[in-house]
Structure 1
Amino acid sequence: MSYVHVIGTGGTIASRAEAGGSVVADSAEQVLGSLGLSTGVTTEDVLHINSFHLTFADLLTIHHAVHAACARPEVSGVVITHGTDTMEETAFFLSLLHDADKPVVLTGAQRAADLPNTDGPENLRQAVEAAASATMRGAGVVIGFEAEFHAARHTRKRHTLATTTFSGGTLIAQYHNDVLTRLATAVPYPVLDAPTADFAELNIPVIDAAPGSTAELFYAALASGADGIVLQGVGAGNAPPVFTDAVQAAVAAGVPVVLSTRVPTGPVAAIYGNGGGVTLLDSGALSAGQLNTYQARMLLAVLLAQKLPAGTLRARFEAQTL
């Protein structure tokens, strides 16, 4: 008999009100409650935190749990209950490493478990049913929210409070009237090797380039021993000219720099000189392509943990951003 394995990490879906604000309180088994599922489930709690507490070490813990579950022949799919704040990063991280045909569905809630209008139970019910369905074989890692299942890559949280908060990635499936409809399969990318334990110790700050900003924080990150830096530019990946020398200094010191954009959609593109994308990329920065800032940071972290030569790291990074 096959079943879905539910991995609990905490998040709003498991939170209840206390003095000082909602905090994680429920286990995965408690979150499941009495959903009236048509498939069998098992549960495992690997973390019990809000997702704004997540560390790289926690991501490794989640990956190991997912990998172990997918290796069991009786498991048809995996569901992860997770906070929405950083779900897009965890989902993308797992998608870089996922090499099984079994679906992995991340879900959660925007409204805490003790609110009368909580959205968690229905999101979880649909996620479990989707993970159990043969329809989702080969779907990879997806985020399931409000009856939609989006591929991890490019999906991001779009609203701080609305229950329809995730969009952007390939819409893989929809769930309406208790019917799951498969719509698409995301473009496959090379599966990366799982990072070593060194991944947990990486220091990769994000530096924002905006009107009036200087490169002082960039140089401070270098001085503090940053393993890599993500420079979030404006427009198609542009920054004040002071960042050109900073990028060159980092690259010369063997610290990779990724150039991303704060714009929600569209790629980094080499259009402008004098500090723009042409200048920064010519200075050695890696282009995030169409990845958002924090998914690009996650990709850089996975590759840095593999201790690759600079040229190999660049080639593998670029292969993930085409």
Structure 2
Amino acid sequence: MSYVHVIGTGGTIASRAAAGGSVVADSTEQVLANLGVSTDVTTEDVLQINSFHLTFGDLLTIYHAVHAACARPEVAGVVLTHGTDTMEETAFFLSLLHDSEKPVILTGAQRAADLPNTDGPENLRQAVEAAASAAMRDAGVVIGFESEFHAARHTRKRHTLATSSFSGGTLVAHCYDNVLFRLATAATYPLLEAPAATFSELNIPVIDAAPGTNADLFYAALDSGADGLVLQGVGAGNAPPVFTEAVHAAVAADVQVVLSTRVPAGPVAAIYGNGGGVTLLEAGALGAGQLNTYQARVLLAVLLAQVQPATTLRDAFEAQTR
């Protein structure tokens, strides 16, 4: 008999009011209580935290739990309950490594479990039913929220409070009137090997290049031993000219720099010189393509933890951002 395995990490879906603000309080079994799903379910708690507490080490813990569940023949699919704040990073991380035809669906809530209008139970019910459905085979890693299932890559949280809070990735399926409709299969990219334990210790700051900023924080990150850097530019990946020499300095020190953009949609592109994308990419920065800043940061971390030569890392990074 097949079943869906639900892995809990905490988040708003498991949170209740407390002095000083909502905190994670419920186990995954409690979250699932009285859900009324039509498939058999097993549960596992690997973390009980809000997702703004997550570390790279926690991402590894989550991956190992998901990978082990998918390896069990009787598991039809996996649901991961997770806080919405950093769900896009965890989903993308898992998608880089996911090598099973079984779906992995991340879901959660924008409203705590003890609120009368909490959205968690319905999101979770739909995620469990979708994970059990043959229609979701080979769907990969998706984020399921408000009746929509988006592929992990490019999906991001688009609103701080609204319950329909995720968009951007391929819309793989939707669920209306308790019927699941498979719509698409997301583009595939080369699978990466699970990172070594050194992944947990990586320090990869994000430096913002906005009007009026200088490169002081960039150099400070280099001086403090950053393993890599993400430079979040404006437009198609542009920054004040002072960052060009900063990128040169990082590359000379064998520190990889990724150039991303703060714009919600569209790729990093080499269009402008004098500090623009042309200059920064010629200085040695890696272009994030259409990955957002924080998914690009996760990709860089995975590749750095595989201890590859710079040329091999560059090729692997570019293969993920085409």
Normalising TM by the smaller chain, what interval?
A: over 0.9
CA distance in 2, matches of 1:11, 1:122: 15
Shift of 1:259: 0.1
Q: 1:114-147, CA deviations, whole angstroms, 9 ceiling, x for partnerless residues?
A: 0000000000000000000000000000000000
Instruction: Supply the AA of the counterpart residue of 1:48.
Output: Q
TM-score for the superposition, normalised by structure 1: 1.00
Structure 1 residue 270: Cα displacement: 0.3
Q: For each residue in 1:171-223, what CA deviation from the matched residue of structure 2 results, as whole angstroms up to 9, or x when unmatched?
A: 00000111000000000000000001000000000000000000000000000
Task: Determine the structure 2 residue equivalent to 1:320.
Answer: 320
Aligned pairs for 1:148-227 (under 5 A) are 148-227=148-227
TM-score, normalisation: structure 2: 1.00
Runs of 4+ in 1 over 6 A off after TM superposition: none
Q: CA RMSD in A?
A: 0.3
- The one-character-per-residue Cα deviations of 1:57-82 (angstroms, maximum 9, x if unpaired) are 00000000000000000000000000
Residue of structure 1 in register with 2:106 after alignment:
106
CA distance in 2, matches of 1:220, 1:145: 39
Identical-pair percentage: 84
Q: Name the counterpart of 2:282.
A: 282
Compute the displacement of 1:152 (Å): 0.1
Deviations 1:224-267 (A, max 9, x none): 00000000000000000000000000001000000000000000
Structure 2 match to 1:95: 95
Distance in 1 (alpha carbons) for counterparts of 2:163 and 2:256: 37
State the number of aligned residues: 322
Give the aligned residue type for 2:291. L
Partner of 1:272, secondary structure, is: coil
State how far apart, in whole Å, the 2-side matches of 1:111 and 1:296 are: 28
The 1-side partners of 2:307 and 2:151 are apart by 28
Deviations 1:140-168 (A, max 9, x none): 00000000000000000000000000000
State the Cα distance separating 1:285 from its structure 2 match: 0.2
Instruction: Show the counterpart of 2:229.
Output: 229
Query: Structure 1: which 5+ residue stretches go unaligned?
Result: none
Task: Provide the rounded CA distance (Å) in 1 between the counterparts of 2:244 and 2:132.
Answer: 50
The match for 1:252 is: 252
Task: Give, in whole Å, the separation in 1 of the partners of 2:112 and 2:33.
Answer: 14
SS at 1:88 equivalent: helix
Give the match's secondary structure for 1:62: helix
What is the CA–CA distance in structure 2 between the aligned matches of 1:83 and 1:35, rounded to whole Å? Answer: 19
Mapped to 1, the partners of 2:166 and 2:211 lie a distance apart of 29
**Aligned pairs for 1:80-159 within 5 A:** 80-159=80-159
